[in-house]
Amino acid sequence: MKSEAGVLSSFPSVEIKHFKLRVDPKIPGKLATRLQVELERAYSELGKALGAWPSSKVTVVLYSQGRFYEATGSQHWVGGFYDGQIKLPVPVKSDEKDPAFRKLLKVVRHEYAHLLVLGLSAECPMWLNEGIAQYFEASYQKDAVYARLKESREARIPLKKMPSRLGKIDDVELARWVYLQGLGFVEFLVEKYKPFRLRLLLRAIAEEHSAATAFERVYGRSTEDLEKEWWKRIENPDG
């Protein structure tokens, strides 16, 4: 196994408006170009929604899928990640319309959202960070998300008891549920209070060092209170 740095040194760099890319030569030019378009789109759309703009160019590494898992040591189910740089596995045999490639375009938005969230607040609880990142993956998905939450509402975890770090979750079912609750709650916050307030919330978490205090400050209500209304909406979407 080659070291990640060793592999990277053979990747040509490409600079675009807001990103600096390292591109695995195995990736077809068409796919690399489409990913560049998606990155700039994420920059402008998510930037507007969260009022957050990185002060320097963001580094993105486009690996061919095979090389990604080898070079980063990631598990096979990892679809990309952000560790100060955005790292993505590109399915080199697909074309732009393949489901695998379309999924990767969502990962682009997801990982870019993580970059913005962590830039605003390094202490953002994991469930909220994942909720925001999933929210920005795609446009409207609330109905489906609420239906899944309603179906399994017995498993409901109070937000204050949600695990704050991913490393503490070794149960896959639990991890899925935490992600779903995070997404559902962010859908609720955005619908009721608009996305820009997420930015205020993240700044408040950074200042208060407490998510609970930040929720009180930004939404004028306790987490429990917000949560109660949210579950009421899930159980009775037309009510």
Q: How far apart are CA 89 and CA 68, in angstroms?
A: 5
Shortest separation between residue 178's beta carbon and Zn ion, angstroms: 11
Nearer to Zn ion, 136 or 146 (CB): 136
Nearer to Zn ion, 141 or 213 (CB): 141
Shortest separation between residue 23's beta carbon and Zn ion, angstroms: 23
Of the candidates 96, 132, 98, 94, the one whose C-alpha atom is nearest the C-alpha of residue 113 is: 132
Shortest separation between residue 25's beta carbon and Zn ion, angstroms: 28
Q: Residue 14 burial (CB < 10 Å; 0-12/13-18/19+)?
A: middle
Nearer to Zn ion, 11 or 127 (CB): 127
Nearer to Zn ion, 38 or 216 (CB): 38
Which window, 116-124, 126-134, 141-149, 192-200, contacts Zn ion (CB under 5 A)? 126-134
Of residues 127-166, those binding Zn ion (CB under 5 A): 130, 133
Shortest separation between residue 129's beta carbon and Zn ion, angstroms: 7
Query: Number of residues in contact with Zn ion, rule: CB under 5 A?
Result: 2
Complete DSSP assignment for 190-220? HHHH-THHHHHHHHHHHHHS-HHHHHHHHHS
Count Cα atoms within 13 angstroms, Cβ side, for 5: 0
For Cα atoms 167, 172, 175, give the angle at the middle one, nearest 5 degrees: 60
Nearer to Zn ion, 27 or 107 (CB): 107
Nearer to Zn ion, 133 or 205 (CB): 133
Which window, 124-132, 145-153, 168-176, 211-219, contacts Zn ion (CB under 5 A)? 124-132
Shortest separation between residue 3's beta carbon and Zn ion, angstroms: 25
SS3 content of the chain, % helix, strand, coil (to 5): 60, 10, 30
Q: Which two tokens stand for residue 51?
A: 């009022």
Shortest separation between residue 91's beta carbon and Zn ion, angstroms: 19
Nearer to Zn ion, 24 or 130 (CB): 130
Which window, 4-12, 125-133, 139-147, 213-221, contacts Zn ion (CB under 5 A)? 125-133
Which window, 52-60, 101-109, 123-131, 195-203, contacts Zn ion (CB under 5 A)? 123-131
Residue burial 198-233, b: 16+ Cβ < 10 Å; e: rest: bbbbbbbbeebeebeebbbbbbeeebeebbeebbeb
Q: Are 198 and 207 in contact (CB under 8 A)?
A: no
Distances (CA, A) of 22 to 8, 88, 228: 7, 11, 46
Which one-letter amino acid corresponds to residue 111? E
Of residues 39-78, those binding Zn ion (CB under 5 A): none
Shortest separation between residue 88's beta carbon and Zn ion, angstroms: 13
Determine the number of helices (DSSP H) and then strands (DSSP E) in the chain: 10, 5
Chain residues that interact with Zn ion, rule: CB under 5 A:
130, 133
